[in-house]
């Protein structure tokens, strides 16, 4: 079994509902949704599960009851197992969040991939994936636009700093961060949204990093990064009566190049 662990979080609505109290004041905003960044990690994981029944999915959120909104949104999109970690009274900085996620991964025991967005909608630090990979001693496949998963490992593609394309490959387990531009989230069906309102969320007490000793040893050659050669297309001149067919063929070729 390949388990994908999906750390998710709630985000405030872009246009929250405004409510007034009996004395005419404004109530604090309590309306939340699934973080848009997590929508693409959930979409990627659900696609993997649809392609392979042996892939298991678990979504976890750190926080109070407001996080249940995000968890139930994940279930409406196809994630069956939901857990919420009560963080207690401690400060939730990057290290604390990474430790709680790492503890959840070690407790589950069979996690092959921890999939996160490259940065959250609210915090936007972009440092949690790296901190988590360091705590677990797993390779970090960062800023991937797409990723293919198999029992042999993971192969991802991303845009390089110079604007070119890179292919990243690593053996499992890995920490994966997905960036925008490669995965299109889909809105859940209304029936799934309604059914998710009664979803059972397992609430766990504050967890601590179970291993305070040296970090796990990195595997041999944990991550391979290869540049993808740019493709050049020679100009084509086609007769006027074949223009529509030629354009359709060129668009299909472009799609294949982007997917490579």
Which tokens hold the place of 236? Answer: 């084509």
Instruction: State how far the Cα of 29 lies from the Cα of 175, in Å rounded to an integer.
Output: 33
- What is the rounded distance in angstroms from the CA atom of residue 88 to the CA atom of residue 101? 15
Domain count, the chain: 1
Please check whether residue 112 lies inside any domain of the structure: yes
Q: Is residue 91 part of a domain?
A: yes
Position 108 in a domain: yes
Q: Which domain holds residue 166?
A: 2-230
Q: Is residue 219 part of a domain?
A: yes
Q: Which residues pair with 7 in a beta bridge?
A: 60
User: 70 φ, ψ to 5°?
Assistant: -65, -40
The string of pLDDT tens digits covering residues 23-34 is: 766 555 556 788
SS3 228: strand
Instruction: Establish if 119 belongs to a structural domain.
Output: yes
Does residue 54 fall inside a structural domain? yes
- CATH number of the structural domain spanning residue 197: 3.40.50.620
Question: Is 186 a domain residue?
Answer: yes
Flag whether pLDDT at 154 surpasses 90: yes
User: Is residue 243 in some structural domain?
Assistant: no
Whole-prediction pTM = 0.77
Confidence of residue 13 (pLDDT cuts 50, 70, 90): low
Neighbours of 100 (CB within 10 A): 25
CA distance 100 to 63: 11
Q: What is the pLDDT of residues 194-225, one digit of tens each?
A: 888 888 898 888 654 455 444 455 555 578 88
Please choose, from the candidates 179, 156, 132, 174, the residue with its C-alpha nearest in 3D space to the C-alpha of residue 225.
Answer: 156
Count of CA atoms in the C-beta half-sphere (13 A) of 120: 18
């Amino acid at each position: 079994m390949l388990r994908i662990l999906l750390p998710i979080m709630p985000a405030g609505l872009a246009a929250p509902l405004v409510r007034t109290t009996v004395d005419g004041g404004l109530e604090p905003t309590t309306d939340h949704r699934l973080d848009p960044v997590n929508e693409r990690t959930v979409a990627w994981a659900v696609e993997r599960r649809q392609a392979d029944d042996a892939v298991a999915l678990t979504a976890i959120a750190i926080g109070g009851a407001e996080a249940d909104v995000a968890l139930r949104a994940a279930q409406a999109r196809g994630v069956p197992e939901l857990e919420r970690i009560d963080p207690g009274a401690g400060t939730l900085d990057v290290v604390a969040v990474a430790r709680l996620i790492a503890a959840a991964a070690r407790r589950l025991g069979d996690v092959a991939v921890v999939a996160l967005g490259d940065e959250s909608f609210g915090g936007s630090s972009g440092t949690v994936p790296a901190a988590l990979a360091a705590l677990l001693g797993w390779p970090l496949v960062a800023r991937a636009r797409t990723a293919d998963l198999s029992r042999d490992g993971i192969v991802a593609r991303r845009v390089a700093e110079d604007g070119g394309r890179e292919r990243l490959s690593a053996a499992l387990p890995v920490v994966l961060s997905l960036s925008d531009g490669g995965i299109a989230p889909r809105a859940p069906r209304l029936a799934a949204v309604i059914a998710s309102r009664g979803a059972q969320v397992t609430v766990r007490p504050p967890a601590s990093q179970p291993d305070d000793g040296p970090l796990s040893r990195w595997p041999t050659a944990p991550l391979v990064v290869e540049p993808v050669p740019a493709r050049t297309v020679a100009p084509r001149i086609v007769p006027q009566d074949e223009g529509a067919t030629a354009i359709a063929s060129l668009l299909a070729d472009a799609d294949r190049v982007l997917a490579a």
